[in-house]
Amino acid sequence: MCGIVGKLYVDESNSNPDAIGTMCLAIAHRGPDGEGIKKIDNCILGHRRLSIIDLSINANQPMVNAEGRFHIVFNGEIYNFQKIKDELIVKGYQFLNKSDTEVILQAYAEYNVGCFSKFEGMFALAIWDSKEKKLVMARDHFGKKPFFYCYDKNGNFTFCSEVNGLRADPDIIFRYNMEAVNCYLALGYILNPMSMYEDIFQLKPGTYMVLDQKCQIINQGAFWNYAEHFRIKTKDNEQDIIENIRDLFRSAVKKRMISDVPVGAFLSGGIDSSSVVIMLKKFYTNELHTFSVGFREKSYNELPDAERLAKLIGTVHHSIMCDPENPGELLEEAANACDQIFADNSIIPMIEVSKLASEYVKVVLSGDGADELFAGYITYKADNYYKYAQLIPKLLRKMLADQKIGFRKDSGNKIGKGYKQKQFFTGSLSDYRKAHYSWRLFYSPEERVAILGEKFRALVYDTDPFFAFNKYYDEVSDFSRLDQHLFVDAKTWLTDDILVKTDRSTMHSSIEARCPYLDIQLAQYIASVPDSLKLHGSASKYILKKSLRSIVPDFVLDKKKSGFNAPLSTWLNVDSSQEFKVYNKYIYDFYLNNKN
């Protein structure tokens, strides 16, 4: 796990290694174990290293392959690198170290851009071909690792793991992208390939891009098509599916044990993290450290559940109570940990538990991805109930959406009934696509106009992020409704919210997070499973729970799902129905006042 930077100059005489060094320093938290900068032709590559596999200096980056042609900077882990390496050795390739980085180089030498579809893991990388004078970049299937790029004011191409690194380059111009700001106010995150700044973009997950020596794009495309795995449904019966999921999950966890440094795991006490920890404990031969965060507020606190499981299976468990005297400090730290506006408040406890984990390990496994694969969120149940809501007169639904009747005051629960009521009935006024989109909506278009001003009215409506969602829906309009929602959420919510939160919070404390549920073999198989086995009536994660029943204790499997939110309503003294909006606006104001 590392941080990468690079710059391709139109004119080699203007190249400036010092600029790359400044950018590397800005993302030093992503790789505190070393720095490397190398100039090749009119390309300069920079790297900050977090040493995980092959701790020797032979695995430092930027790295060149044995033949001296290809140079790489790489952020991530390739879990099947040994298998690919064995294949390449048979083909006559030589290797100088034991890292997965060198395997990427030699795989590219053999397969060109076709190599990316062979990789199982997480990656954001750039390869300079010193013979053909071209820069090749790629980002992993789901977008676990970030990759931002832009052209500076002189036409030079620049890339970095974080926007914070790009800020260190004086030749890059920062102007707010109001379409992205509109997206943020609506959703709390920014949809790729946008960033919050004009002309700074994210490389889309599952894609590659190739530039020539003059910084012009000469090739780009996708190396993975998630949709095709939904379209071809498995013929396996239910029992075979259960066993296949269990086997694939076991394999996914074992792959993510590959490390030359200690491995631990986050443990919330819920199904996803608990199943990861239990499976990891079966195969990890060293002391297994697990980490949890809790709150004084009872409905937010899952520490007793996590500690109960840790004691049962015998991990060395560490927990921390998040009970700040000054909540504003935590909110400000969360804002600074992100490189652009981001309003998922669960990043606050993620930052705290990552700090705790960093005292003991460099690698942690997490349960991220299971909800998006197995339909674990309450929103998927809401999608089911949508058809029944249509039987209610529209006028009454409007009243319920405005909370004119029904639940008026939210309780101390994480997400109060009043908030759920409003979101559900607001969505019920639209078609099924927009209904699903609106379950997680922060500010309506008119509310966004009120925040941004009347001069942005046309922009708010013309660039509504629902249009991006709708394009994804159009790609899979032949799917069942649940599969459509799962596909769209993977392209939006998973990549641009969940995985951003995980990456930024862990890298803030210089540790690496690995997500077994997002193993590509497992994810592709789950996509092929009939949707009725994911959401079975009102039972979410039906087939996952069936697969885990012989592994995970009943008190975990039968536990009511609980989100990983911070108790902002208590900290900020607001009604829980307003806490998401309040936090969204807090981050918005923070960036306007403190960032370019």
The partner residues of 290 in beta bridges, in order of sequence, read: 265, 317
Please name which of 190, 290, 261 lies closest in space to residue 496, comparing C-alpha atoms. Answer: 190
Q: What are 162-177's pLDDT values in tens digits?
A: 999 999 999 999 999 9
Give me the phi and psi of 313, to 5 degrees please. Answer: -100, -10
Average pLDDT over residues 74-96: 96
Q: What is the pTM of this model?
A: 0.94
Going from the C-alpha of 418 to that of each of 18, 343, 409, 425, 513, the distances in angstroms are 55, 21, 6, 11, 35
Residues 434, 426: Cα–Cα separation, whole Å = 10
Q: pLDDT-based confidence at 505, cuts 50/70/90? A: very high
Q: pLDDT-based confidence at 488, cuts 50/70/90? A: very high
Q: For 146-276, where are the E strands, in sequence order?
A: 148-151, 157-160, 200-202, 207-211, 217-222, 263-266
In this structure, are residues 97 and 81 in contact, taking their beta carbons and an 8 Å threshold?
A: no
Pairing, β 512-514 against β 363-365: parallel
> Higher pLDDT residue, 559 or 106?
106
Average pLDDT over residues 447-468: 97
Q: pLDDT-based confidence at 408, cuts 50/70/90? A: very low
Does position 414 have pLDDT exceeding 70, yes or no? no
In this structure, are residues 347 and 495 in contact, taking their beta carbons and an 8 Å threshold?
A: no
Query: Which H helix or E strand runs over 71?
Result: strand 70-78
* Dihedral over Cα of 545, 278, 413, 581: its sign: negative
> Is there a catalytic annotation at residue 43?
no
Q: Which pLDDT belongs to residue 232? A: 94
A 10 A CB-CB count for 64 gives 18
Average pLDDT over residues 543-553: 96
Q: pLDDT-based confidence at 413, cuts 50/70/90? A: low
What percent of the chain has pLDDT above 70?
96
Helix, strand, or coil here: 218?
Answer: strand
Average pLDDT over residues 398-421: 61
Token code pair at residue 78:
């390739």
What average pLDDT is seen over the chain? 93
Q: Which pLDDT belongs to residue 571? A: 87
End-to-end CA distance of the chain: 28
Average pLDDT over residues 54-60: 92
Q: Which pLDDT belongs to residue 421? A: 73
> Higher pLDDT residue, 37 or 395?
37
Residues 201, 212: Cα–Cα separation, whole Å = 19
